[in-house]
Amino acid sequence: MGLLERAGGQRAVLAILVSALGYFVDIYDLVLFSIVRVPSLKGLGYESDYDLKYYGELLLNFQMAGMLLGGILWGVLGDRKGRLSVLFGSIFMYSLANFLNGLIPNTAEKSFWDEITFYAILRFVAGIGLSGELGAGITLVSELMPKETRGYGTMIVAGTGILGAILAALVGDLLNWRWAYIIGGLMGFALLVLRIGVYESGLFDQLRAKKDIKRGAFFKIFSNRSRLRRFFASVMIGVPLWFVVGNLITFSREYGKNLSAKGEIDPGYAILFTYLGLALGDFASGSLSQLLKTRKKTVLLFLVLNLLTVLLYLNSRAQSLAYYYSLFTVLGFFNGYWAVFVTIAAEQFGTNLRATVATSVPNFVRGAVVPVNTTFTYISVQLTGDPLKGMIPAAYIMTFFLFLLAFVGLALLEETHGKDLDFLEQI
């Protein structure tokens, strides 16, 4: 923290610490469902391969839909009420929802109000909560640090936070799925104690004093061609990230069967190795963008290598489990430009819309998993008549389409390394 303390002062260090730990718990809870999907559904009485995939996809979609809605709500609040109110409000909401997730009743009779309904409601509420922490944290850190070094701050927040997935994988493997959820909730409650001593962004405090400036006007993003282009271009460069995590890794067990893997791939271990790679990739991409003094070229490099690794995965037939887990680590590493991606989104917009965008953009990316996975399943069925057997060809189609969107989105954005963030959007 020596560099950061010299560059940004004590306020920046405290903001980085709390934001990084908050994102650590956020990621733990975010990926926990993917890790305990199979044991939790089996524990609730759903055993067949079809049920495990169907209900797993349904619950994931509820979580991601909550994140899409929450990304808008928390973003608007971040620009109207402050970055800190969103940071701690979101932590409380997802911690409560995940704690209750561990207490879902196992009903004897299947009806509308059975365990799947409760599970879906809680994943939706958790999704709303999970959507706020990262954007608020990145915005706060970006505004507290000097423009020359803020990439290091956002890198630490994202890179440290990603490690939460490794803890989730270990806890999900060692403990009952109910306890895994309860522990996530308790960690979030404990984190709220750290809110003491964290200061609001100075740029936001200055903005709040200007009563005539509109703040957090989400729909104003779409009323101007320049803002609309910047917003959707930012979303486009992030969608491949969550296709990899929300499809290729979440359903790695099913992909393994299609690829004739020598053994059954454990989704929990797939998440563990992928997020280990993601954490390393976030530190690498963040450092590289600072050293090269360019965000765009860093993202371009990682996008190309990410695409090549995805194609290698889809062509890796009849390999050992060790091979697949090693490949997941490499895939995670080149998927690890999340920190740079969110920083780019935050730097594109003025202070009166920055939290709105920095919170909503990553959650539009995450929420895109819903239409992406729905389209993916539709293509799978159309190609083979079976949503499981058609996974590989559908994955090829979605991969080429989503990565093409990302390359186009990147080309539409301006370079933001070293950009002064003390400016407003004219709304």
CA-CA distance, 160 to 37, in Å (whole number)?
24
CA distances 8 to 24, 131, 150, Å, are 22, 26, 8
Could you identify the residue written with the tokens 């979101």? 90
Residue from 186, 156, 187, 14 nearest 84 by CA: 14
User: By the 8 A CB rule, do 268 and 166 touch?
Assistant: no
CA angle 410, 375, 227 (to 5 degrees): 30
pLDDT at 7: 43
Could you identify the residue written with the tokens 């440290």? 160
Token reading at 27: 């990621």
Token reading at 394: 């559908």
C-beta atoms surrounding 276 within 10 Å: 20
383-386 long-range contacts, CB within 8 A, separation 24+? none
Q: 261: phi > 0 → left, psi -120 to 50 → alpha, else beta; which?
A: beta
pLDDT at 209: 62
CA-CA distance, 52 to 115, in Å (whole number)?
14
CA-CA distance, 314 to 157, in Å (whole number)?
31
Structural domains present in the chain: 2-196+223-412 (1.20.1250.20)
In tens, the pLDDT along 50-86 reads 888 788 888 888 888 888 888 888 888 877 877 777 7
In tens, the pLDDT along 288-326 reads 998 999 999 999 999 999 999 999 999 999 899 999 999
pTM of the model: 0.80
pLDDT at 205: 59
Residue 201 in 3-state DSSP? coil
Q: Who contacts 338 (Cβ-Cβ below 8 Å, separation ≥6)?
A: 158, 162, 238, 241, 278, 282, 362
Q: Who contacts 225 (Cβ-Cβ below 8 Å, separation ≥6)?
A: none
More confident residue, 408 or 20: 408
Token reading at 357: 């965008």
In tens, the pLDDT along 95-119 reads 999 999 988 877 655 555 578 888 9
Residue 114 in 3-state DSSP? coil
Average pLDDT, the chain: 85
